[in-house]
Structure formats: structure tokens, C-alpha cells
Amino acid sequence: MIKLVVGLGNPGKEYERTRHNAGFWLVERFAQANGMVLRKDPKFKALVGKSANGAWFLLPQSFMNLSGQPVQMLAGFFKIKPEEVLVVHDELDFPPGTVRLKQGGGIAGHNGLKDISQRLATHEYWRLRLGVGKPPPGTEGADYVLQKPSVDDRAAIDAAIQKSLDVMPQLLAGDVQAAMNRLHTEEPKKVEPAKKTEEPKKEIPAEKPGLLRSLFGKK
């Protein structure tokens, strides 16, 4: 059973829309959809919430490379084992729209995971990996994750987040295998680029439709 869900990201307005904050996006979406309040807790150096079934949700406010301290402190305080922890993070190895679940394994240079593994003294916590795509040639991964995704990439990441939220009840209930099967067997939805609308003809008065914008929110 998952008793602690950790979303990784960096605090602050300047980072909230960057790829590195994909973990934050998921936890924030879960909180909004479930009426869960994320409150700042100075003791844990994090925003903390508790779901209806008793699982803790954590957004470290100590910056990415120090993410492990809030995780260690809350997990230690509530006696939560590493195998009961789920860390949600951005993943360079997968394209936007792909999401994968696994326990343990390599951390591929992700500084948030590196600090968590050091603090918990193990890699054996669960990880929900949200694809953000590989950096283009000539761009360092560390710089790429601190940039905002394109509109189409953000839409694909949001679709993967929704897919993850759909299996969250199974994860929290301890049916991790069923959640994994759903995540790994369903193909990521293709997100069509937005089509341009034609200008209304001048001789026919018409109301222009309102433009809807989704506003969401460095290493």
C-alpha cells in the first residue's frame, strides 16, 4: 500500500511551469480534484496534505537537489517504509505523454531522486515517471528540464498526468500491479495540435469565440 506520495519540483513562480515540476503538477491536480488542502508545514519543509483514505501527499519546498530531507522527515515521523513511498517525477527517457511505474532501479542523474535515495538509504521506493522528452542536440538535460514545454508537449504531459490520476485509487489501495498493467498496456493518447480558426467574414457580423487558456503554474 502507498502511504506517501511525493511530487518533485522546485518552489517559486519562476519554476512552476517548467518540465522539472511535472511531479508538482500531478499532486496539485490530485489535490484540486479531491478537495485536499496542501498546507505549508515548516517542520517538514514542504506542502503537506492528507487524502480521504489517509495517504500523505508531499511537495518538498527545499528545491530539487534537497528533496530527500522532507521525505525522510515525514516518512520517519509517521513510520512509513520506503516501499510505501511513491515519488512522482519528470523523466527524460520517455516522450511527453508516456508514464511508467516501477520500484527501485537507476536514477539516471535525477538530483531529486539522488537525494531521496541517499536520505532513505535505498532505491526501493516506487516511482511514477512522467515523460518530458529528451533535450535537443546541444542542450544539457539540466537546462532542458528548467524550460517550459511547448503547448503540444504540455498537453501530452497533462494527458499522462490524468492517466496516472485514474489509477491513483488502485495505488493507494495497494493494488500496484493492476495500476501498472493499466499504465503500461494502454497506448498514450495522441494529442492533436490546435487548429487555427478562420476569421469571420466581414459582411456577416459574428461573435468571436472566447480564447480559453490553461495557466499552470531550476533545478
pLDDT > 50? residue 217: no
Options 20, 89, 110, 184, the catalytic residue: 20
C-alpha angle 132/163/20, rounded to 5°? 25
Q: Is residue 123 annotated as part of the catalytic site, yes or no?
A: no
In 3D space, the residue among 37, 67, 49, 62 whose CA is nearest the CA of residue 4 turns out to be 49
Question: How far, CA to CA in Å, does 32 sit from each of 138, 170, 194?
Answer: 38, 19, 26
pLDDT tens readout for residues 180-195? 999 998 654 555 555 5
165-173 own/partner pairs: CB under 8 Å, 24+ apart: 165/26, 165/29, 165/30, 165/33, 168/30, 171/2, 171/86, 172/1, 172/2, 172/5, 172/51, 172/53, 172/55, 173/1, 173/53
Beta pairing partners, 85: 4
- Close Cβ partners of 116 (under 8 Å, ≥ 6 residues apart): 6, 67, 68, 71, 72, 87, 125
Residue 70 is inside which H or E element, if any?
helix 68-77
pLDDT tens readout for residues 104-130? 988 878 999 999 999 999 999 999 999
This prediction has a pTM of 0.83
- Lowest mean per-residue pLDDT among 2-6, 76-80, 180-184: 180-184
Cβ pair 59, 38 in contact under 8 A: yes
Cβ pair 2, 173 in contact under 8 A: no
Residue 215: its pLDDT value, please?
38
Cβ pair 145, 20 in contact under 8 A: yes
Q: Which value, to the nearest 10 degrees, does the dihedral of the CA atoms of residues 166, 212, 15, 143 take?
A: 90
Residue 207: its pLDDT value, please?
47
Q: Which three cell numbers stand for residue 83?
A: 516501499
- pLDDT averaged over the chain? 88
Which is it for strands 56-60 and 46-50: parallel, antiparallel or unpaired? Answer: antiparallel
What is the Cα gyration radius of the chain? 19
